[in-house]
């Protein structure tokens, strides 16, 4: 868990850590928590402007979406605008995360398509960059393709790490999955929160993606999902993103802070609780807002709907965050 203000990073690419707990030095695959970084080339190459990409579409590029109608339709119309269709996507199909959407698909006698893949927006973003670069879209998901070379370089640059030292594997959606330390991930998020030390094109891209995510919380995840709830509750003060295996990141533009955490057991439950606890402690989200309260002190229900337990942060987390970061938003 780490937070880092770019104001303390200055020209130093190694970055400064405001606060950390546990191991922030070992490389982790942050998976979908990297999506805002992976979307930077979409804006900074001019691809988004060239193809009239909307803020809702930019948010979808940063999303692990639930495969609801709005997500699928947004991806489909964006693909059409760049002269592509579903078959151009390198991600495979999986059932919509949203249960009602999955049920509707089954009732319609249809199978999940690549558009339902939670990463279809990210992939459409990659294809848009390929179109902008005027390169063959074939193999756009491979590390050696011009699109992914830009994406991996952007990630390494934002995290302040050497691209050559970044371990790259293959993610569930077939795109490259990069591993680097949590402290680099926190630094990258802090650079989005306060992009003043970045090159102008990248700073503008970071601001625009942050704004797009903040103003389209449903596009980033979906109905009932923690990312959507937290972004809504933060009301312009935070972009957040979950990643597989217990990762969560936050971009706090009003505070100029980035947050990155991983819960070692790899389950999302702890990560949801801790990110909500941290943001509430910083005054970024109201702790008493029902969707936030339900993440911080989450009831565990049995199949009869009866509360049989609770999931709560350790007592020390909120005070430690308040003490480490001093001034908070409210």
Residues making contact with a copy of itself (CB under 8 A): 90-94, 103, 106-107, 109, 117, 169-174, 264-267, 302-306, 308-309
| Contact yes or no for 1/22 (Cβ under 8 A) | yes
Q: Which is nearer to a copy of itself, 94 or 207 (CB)?
A: 94
Q: Which is nearer to a copy of itself, 136 or 265 (CB)?
A: 265
CB of 54 to a copy of itself, least distance (A): 26
CB of 261 to a copy of itself, least distance (A): 16
CB of 218 to a copy of itself, least distance (A): 23
CB of 13 to a copy of itself, least distance (A): 31
For residue 221, the 8-state DSSP code is: S
Q: Which is nearer to a copy of itself, 120 or 128 (CB)?
A: 120
| Contact yes or no for 27/230 (Cβ under 8 A) | no
CB of 100 to a copy of itself, least distance (A): 11
d(CA 263, CA 66): 23
Q: Which is nearer to a copy of itself, 151 or 158 (CB)?
A: 151
Q: Which is nearer to a copy of itself, 123 or 183 (CB)?
A: 123
CB of 167 to a copy of itself, least distance (A): 12
CB of 8 to a copy of itself, least distance (A): 34
Q: Which is nearer to a copy of itself, 202 or 262 (CB)?
A: 262
For 246-285, give one letter per residue: b (16+ CB within 10 A) or e: bbbbbbbbebbbbbbbbbeeeebebbbbbbbbbbbbbbbb
Q: Which is nearer to a copy of itself, 306 or 330 (CB)?
A: 306
d(CA 69, CA 150): 31
CB of 266 to a copy of itself, least distance (A): 6
Query: Which residues face 46 on adjacent strands?
Result: none
Q: How would you classify the pairing of strands 298-301 and 307-311?
A: antiparallel
What are the C-alpha distances in Å from 310 to residues 182, 230, 268? 28, 20, 15
What values do phi and psi take at 28, rounded to 5?
A: -130, 145
| Contact yes or no for 158/37 (Cβ under 8 A) | yes
Q: Which is nearer to a copy of itself, 46 or 93 (CB)?
A: 93
Q: Determine the distance from the C-alpha atom of residue 103 to the mean position of all C-alpha atoms in its chain, rounded to a whole number.
A: 26
Rg for the chain (alpha carbons), in Å?
A: 19
d(CA 38, CA 214): 17
Q: Report residue 12 as tokens.
A: 């130093």
Q: Which residue has the tokens 């690419």?
A: 13
């Amino acid at each position: 868990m780490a937070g880092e203000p770019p104001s303390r990073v200055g020209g130093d690419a190694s970055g400064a850590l405001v606060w950390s707990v546990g191991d922030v030095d070992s490389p982790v695959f942050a998976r979908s928590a990297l999506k805002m970084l992976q979307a930077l080339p979409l804006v900074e190459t001019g691809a988004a402007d060239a193809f009239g990409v909307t803020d809702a579409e930019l948010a979808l590029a940063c999303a692990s979406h639930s495969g609801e109608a709005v997500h699928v339709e947004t991806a489909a119309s964006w693909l059409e605008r760049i002269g592509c269709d579903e078959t151009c996507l390198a991600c495979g199909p999986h059932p919509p995360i949203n249960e009602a959407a999955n049920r509707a698909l089954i009732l319609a006698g249809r199978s999940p398509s690549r558009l339902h893949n939670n990463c279809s927006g990210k992939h459409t973003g990659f294809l848009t960059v390929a179109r902008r670069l005027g390169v063959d879209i074939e193999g756009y998901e491979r590390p050696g393709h011009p699109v992914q070379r830009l994406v991996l370089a952007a990630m390494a640059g934002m995290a302040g790490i050497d691209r050559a030292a970044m371990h790259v594997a293959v993610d569930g959606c077939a795109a490259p999955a990069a591993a680097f330390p949590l402290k680099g991930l926190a630094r990258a998020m802090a650079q989005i929160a306060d992009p003043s030390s970045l090159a102008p094109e990248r700073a503008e891209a970071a601001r625009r993606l942050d704004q797009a995510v903040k103003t389209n919380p449903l596009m980033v995840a979906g109905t009932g999902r923690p990312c959507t709830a937290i972004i809504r509750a933060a009301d312009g003060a935070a972009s957040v993103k979950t990643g597989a295996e217990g990762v969560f990141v936050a971009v706090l533009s009003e505070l100029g802070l980035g947050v990155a955490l991983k819960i070692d057991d790899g389950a999302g439950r702890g990560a949801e609780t801790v990110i909500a606890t941290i943001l509430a402690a910083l005054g970024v989200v109201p702790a008493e807002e029902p969707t936030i309260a339900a993440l911080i002190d989450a009831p565990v229900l049995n199949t009869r709907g009866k509360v049989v337990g609770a999931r709560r942060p350790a007592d020390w987390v909120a005070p430690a965050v308040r003490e480490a970061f001093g001034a908070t938003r409210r």
